[in-house]
Amino acid sequence: MDKMTTASLAKMKREGKKFASLTAYDTSFAAAFAAQGVPVLLIGDSLGMVLQGADDTLKVTVEEIAYHTRCVSKGAPNALVIADMPFMSYATPEQTYQNAAELIRAGAQMVKLEGGDWLLETVRGLTQRSVPVCAHLGLTPQSVHVFGGFKVQGRSEEAAQAILDQALRLQDAGAAMLVLECVPTELARRVTEALTIPVIGIGAGPHTDGQILVMHDLLGISSGYIPKFSKNYLALTGNIHAAVAAYVEEVEHGRFPSPEHSFS
């Protein structure tokens, strides 16, 4: 796989080429995913749930994300590696710059932040300081207590318009990518068509430029339950490498997610 960059993904969007991405937390899985053509790997604060056994992502620290970022970047040197900024690690712009620098030094090429308008100054400042930003709208897990649980966002026209407007403002502030989580398919289509930057969906239907899943969900080994928007590819193939390859192939050809993995 050639070296993947933000420019590479922007070109894929312009050409209408869909791409698959996954969370990763260690060298071995990162290498296996890259070998199957996964161009984007996210060190997600989901590690708090799938690795540490917590009920949410809120206890994850910058140091833990940095550790796993070092591991992943070693295993997949040609992938675009994105590191999550964990809960309360970007409460102020100055704090954000320091923590983002630690993640970039650990091997990330981009950092991901959850939130809308309140982050515009921060996104602008990071971009001016040569730190690419992936924004995250819709269901933002770090706001789970505000939402009252893990719930689909943007179902009313007013809420949908607010997400679209915030996405446009984040793009204008310099965000180079957007993750949309757990929003109706039609809203995700509207946002993807309105933005010039790549949009990655998780529980957002088939019309986004890319898709992302938590690796444990893809392999059917998450504790608790498998989300509606995921698919157990290991059960279908019986082999981890084949499971990842099947996921990549279905995303690239628009067969995943199907309506049963999406929200209306």
Give the tens place of pLDDT for each residue, 77-134.
Answer: 999 999 999 999 999 999 999 999 999 999 999 999 999 999 999 999 999 999 999 9
pTM (predicted TM-score): 0.96
Whether 139 shows a pLDDT value over 70: the answer reads yes
Closest CA to 78 of 135, 36, 46: 36
Does 239 fall in a domain? Answer: yes
45 is in an annotated binding site: yes
End-to-end CA distance of the chain: 35
114 is in an annotated binding site: yes
Per-chain mean pLDDT for the chain: 95
Please count the structural domains in the chain. Answer: 1
- For the stretch 224-263, pLDDT in tens is 678 899 999 999 999 999 999 999 999 999 999 999 999 9
Does 1 fall in a domain? Answer: no
Residue 148's pLDDT band (boundaries 50, 70, 90)? low
Q: Which of 157, 181, 250, 260 is catalytic?
A: 181
Does 45 fall in a domain? Answer: yes
pLDDT reported for residue 96: 97
Mean pLDDT, range 50-77, rounded to an integer: 96
- For the stretch 195-218, pLDDT in tens is 999 999 999 999 999 999 999 999
Closest CA to 233 of 20, 80, 46, 52: 20
Assess whether 181 carries a catalytic annotation. yes
CATH number at residue 152: 3.20.20.60
Does 185 fall in a domain? Answer: yes
Does 97 fall in a domain? Answer: yes
Please check whether residue 194 is in contact with residue 164, taking contact to mean a CB–CB distance below 8 angstroms: yes
pLDDT reported for residue 144: 61
Mean pLDDT, range 136-140, rounded to an integer: 94
Angle at 81 between CA 23 and CA 139, to 5 degrees: 50
Q: Is 92 exposed, middle or buried (0-12, 13-18, 19+ CB in 10 A)?
A: exposed
User: CA-CA distance, 148 to 234, in Å (whole number)?
Assistant: 32
Does 183 fall in a domain? Answer: yes
Query: Which residue range(s) make up the domain with 174?
Result: 6-261
11 is in an annotated binding site: no
Does 85 fall in a domain? Answer: yes
pLDDT reported for residue 224: 65
Q: Are strands 19-23 and 110-114 parallel, antiparallel or unpaired?
A: unpaired
